[in-house]
Structures are given as structure tokens and as C-alpha cells.
Amino acid sequence: MGRVLQKYKTGKFVNWSVEDGRLVWRLDDEAIQTEAMFDGCYVVYTDLPAERMSKEEAIASYKKLSLVEEAFRNLKTVWLEVRPVYHKTDDRIRTHVFICMLAYYLQWHMQQRLAPLFRRNRRGKGRKWSFSSVMASLWQISINPVRMGKVEFEQVTVPTADQQRILELLGVKL
């Protein structure tokens, strides 16, 4: 019985016992009312003293957590396809983690510069821009070798209007 209550996180709301070979239970109304006071609320707990981080900063940091989680999802699946890597030396493990953190650092800074693009974005199916769609758009820009007789040079594809806007926000000139 305890495992079931623990699995469904209801143990604190139910008092139970076995009497005369029967399971007897009742709801703990006081515990339910106490918990109901927090319905629709969340609690952010930190062990940092108030002098180091205000409650507003703690809440803002917590809300940014979803951005970090999204970035790591992108790292693992979309762009770097990072997956479990079994390195045999500490140097390789540190290097692998460094590359992942560097990629996250770059993504974070790109998202900061692209904020105007994301702010004007729609929601749901009408959404045009996400970090993934920005990267997909940039991947279409390429450098192509060109040969005309004995002359060889490289030609960069002409960016679309969307690509140009992204490059401008990122401060990149082709």
C-alpha cells in the first residue's frame, strides 16, 4: 500500500491501517486543505543567503532553467547530436564537456542577439522562428568554388531577406 501511495504521491493525504484483516483508510482533510493553499503556486528554494541572491533573482534564475534545458536538448538532438560518449581518459572527458558548454555558450549569445526576431514571433502553428529554424536557415548559406578558365575563386550564396536579417542581428558580415 505504501508503494502505491508513494508512486502516486498521495501518501500524505491518506491515513491507512489494517484492522481485523481489512484495509481501513481515510482522507486527511487537514493535509488536503494545507496543500490546497499552494494550488497554482510553486515554491523556489535556494540555499543561497538573501545577501547573495534576492527572491526575484532566484525566481528569474529558475525560469531560465527551461532555456538551459532546451539548449541541452538541442545539443543532444538537433545540431551536435551529442549522445553518450565513452571516453577513456580524463582529458577527453573534459574536452567533450568543454565543447558542449562552448556550444551552449554560443547558442545563448545567439539567442540574446536574436531576441528581436523571437519577440515578434507568433505562437503555435503560426510560429516562424525558433533557434532550430534559424540554424536551418543559416545552414543554407554556402561557399561554392567557381572556376572560370584559369581563374578560381569562391562565391558565397546570396542570403535571403530572412537570412540577411538574422546575420545583421548576429553582427555577421559575409
Number of domains in the chain: 3
Name the pTM for this structure.
0.53
pLDDT top residue among 14 and 161: 161
* 109 and 134 fall within a common domain: no
pLDDT band at 29 (very low <50, low <70, confident <90, very high): very high
119, part of any domain = no
Would residue 104 count as lying in a domain?
yes
Residue 42 included in any domain: no
Q: In the predicted model, is pLDDT for residue 78 greater than 80?
A: no
Q: Which three cell numbers stand for residue 92?
A: 577527453
SS3 162: helix
Would you say residue 123 lies in a domain?
Answer: no
Residue-wise pLDDT tens digits, 132-160: 889 999 999 999 999 999 999 999 999 99
**Does the residue 71 lie in any domain?**
yes
Taking the C-alpha atoms of residue 52 and residue 48, their distance in angstroms, rounded to an integer, is 6
Residue matched to cell numbers 542581428: 169
Q: How confident is the model at residue 25 (pLDDT cuts 50, 70, 90)?
A: confident
| E strands present in the chain | 14-19, 22-27, 143-148, 151-156
**Within this chain, do residues 81 and 109 fall inside the same structural domain, yes or no?**
yes
- Domain region containing 140: 130-170
Find the range with the poorest average confidence among 59-73, 100-114, 129-143, 145-159.
Answer: 59-73
- Within a domain: residue 50? no
Residues 32 and 73 in one domain: no
Q: 61 lies in a domain?
A: yes
User: Which backbone phi and psi does 26 adopt, to 5 degrees?
Assistant: -150, 150
